[in-house]
Amino acid sequence: MTDRTTNLSMPYILPSQAQKHVTHNDALQTLDAVIQLAVDGDATAPPPAPAAGARFLVAGGATDAWAGHDGHIAVWQDGAWLFAAPREGWVAWFRGEKKLKIFHDAAWSELDQGNASPTMIGINTSADDYNRLAVASQASLFTHVGQGHQAKINKATAGDTATLLFQSNWIGHAEMGLAGDNEFSIKVSDGTAWLTALKIRQNGIVDLPQRPMGRAYKNDGTVSPLPNSDSGFTILDQAHGGVALGSKLNNGDRALAVPVEGRYQLSLMATSISASGYAISLMRNKSEIIFSLWFPTAAPLTLSHTQVVTLAAGDELSLYHAGTAQIYNAAAATQLTLAML
């Protein structure tokens, strides 16, 4: 049997040993030094007037009475320094930092303090000062404890952001929440530019800023289109979602271009000053009649029709005139409105 213990290297009292109390007191000093360990600080040199029982971590490059004891715990006892080499798994409270640390792999590192409000948590990844909670996992589960469950995102002021951001390869492509105001919105991105797809006002009204829609018309007053001729539009207003004037027709007007595939509500209004066997038709790509308005009398008349139609991206809408008539071209007189449903 050796004359010292394995873990704390305390001396054994040997058989027939004289002055057994000295050996016993030496062991008590060791216990007093390292049990319930609380470190006052770390330094390379002893303080000038240490308090009895003061304990320090000896930093690298130690000098004076601490020379040769780098990494040891130095304890001031009975007017002298006692040194203890920390072992794997020792735990100590560092008073100056107010942190609990563990000795592992020859270094002291902060110990997870459980419910002691840690400043950041990284689960299978590293947290930082910005992402104080970081999780690397296939999924994250938040479940109930008998009733419901809420996840809360709170911001300081209306101008701040409280959102969920969806990324692909660390590039944002969708975001939902309170982005810069207190109205709920959903935004999407191609990786460079952001567009607001949906916005819900605080009164519950829903805006769809990118919804394809628009109103097309001409503003040249009374005209007499040639029989069996095409016409289009020169003015587009209230346009959203990529709706635009498209190809130029033979008379110089432009067709109305459909930006994306989908179901659209089409409304055509036409006003005649006089007519004879006249009909105006809404055409798709100048080859397919979507619907027609027939003017049965020569008297001034305004007709309109609304229909839901499935259109493809790139389809172009124009007008076809059959018979003779004088048409009044102006907003709210002869116009085409389009809105994606």
Select from 176, 207, 238 the last residue of a domain. 207
Its pTM stands at 0.63
Query: How far apart are the C-alpha atoms of 251 and 225, rounded to whole Å?
Result: 10
Are 225 and 316 within one domain? Answer: yes
User: What are the residue ranges in the chain where pLDDT is below 50?
Assistant: none
Are 84 and 109 within one domain? Answer: yes
304: alpha, beta or left, given left = phi > 0 and alpha = psi -120 to 50? Answer: beta
DSSP 112: P
Question: DSSP string covering 198-241, please?
Answer: EEE-TTS-EE-TT--EEEEE---EEE-PPTTEEE-BSEEEEEET
- 25 in any annotated domain: no
Which uninterrupted H or E stretch holds 97? Answer: none
Query: How far apart are the C-alpha atoms of 181 and 161, rounded to whole Å?
Result: 8
CA angle 178, 180, 181 (to 5 degrees): 65
**What pLDDT, on the 0 to 100 scale, is given for residue 314?**
98
**What pLDDT, on the 0 to 100 scale, is given for residue 132?**
94
Query: How far apart are the C-alpha atoms of 316 and 261, rounded to whole Å?
Result: 12
Are 223 and 283 within one domain? Answer: yes
212-237 confidence digits (pLDDT tens): 999 999 999 999 999 999 999 999 99
**What pLDDT, on the 0 to 100 scale, is given for residue 25?**
59
**What pLDDT, on the 0 to 100 scale, is given for residue 43?**
93
Are 198 and 253 within one domain? Answer: no
- 150 in any annotated domain: no
Q: Residues of the chain with pLDDT > 90: what percent?
A: 79
**What pLDDT, on the 0 to 100 scale, is given for residue 128?**
94
SS3 of residue 65 by DSSP: helix
Are 221 and 190 within one domain? Answer: no
**What pLDDT, on the 0 to 100 scale, is given for residue 10?**
60
Q: Are 185 and 312 spatial neighbours (Cβ–Cβ below 8 Å)?
A: no
Residue 214 has a CB neighbour count (10 Å cut-off) of 22
Cα distances (Å, whole numbers) of residue 307 to 143, 230, 254, 280 = 47, 21, 22, 15
Mean pLDDT of the chain: 91
Are 189 and 265 within one domain? Answer: no
Are 94 and 185 within one domain? Answer: no
Residue 273 has a CB neighbour count (10 Å cut-off) of 16
- 10 in any annotated domain: no
- Closest residue by Cα to residue 241 from 223, 259, 217: 259
- 151 in any annotated domain: no
- 113 in any annotated domain: yes
Are 168 and 280 within one domain? Answer: no
- 142 in any annotated domain: no
Q: Phi first, then psi: what are they for 105, rounded to 5°?
A: 55, 45
SS3 of residue 27 by DSSP: helix
Domain that holds residue 221: 213-340
Are 99 and 59 within one domain? Answer: yes
Q: How many domains does the chain have?
A: 3
Are 122 and 180 within one domain? Answer: no
Q: Are 277 and 334 spatial neighbours (Cβ–Cβ below 8 Å)?
A: no
Residue 24 corresponds to which amino acid? H
**H helix count then E strand count, the chain:** 1, 26
- Residue 185 pairs with which residues in a beta bridge? 177, 199
**What pLDDT, on the 0 to 100 scale, is given for residue 34?**
76
**What pLDDT, on the 0 to 100 scale, is given for residue 23?**
53
**What pLDDT, on the 0 to 100 scale, is given for residue 28?**
64
Are 198 and 221 within one domain? Answer: no
**What pLDDT, on the 0 to 100 scale, is given for residue 201?**
96
CATH of the domain at 242: 2.60.120.40
102-130 confidence digits (pLDDT tens): 999 999 998 765 556 778 999 999 999 99
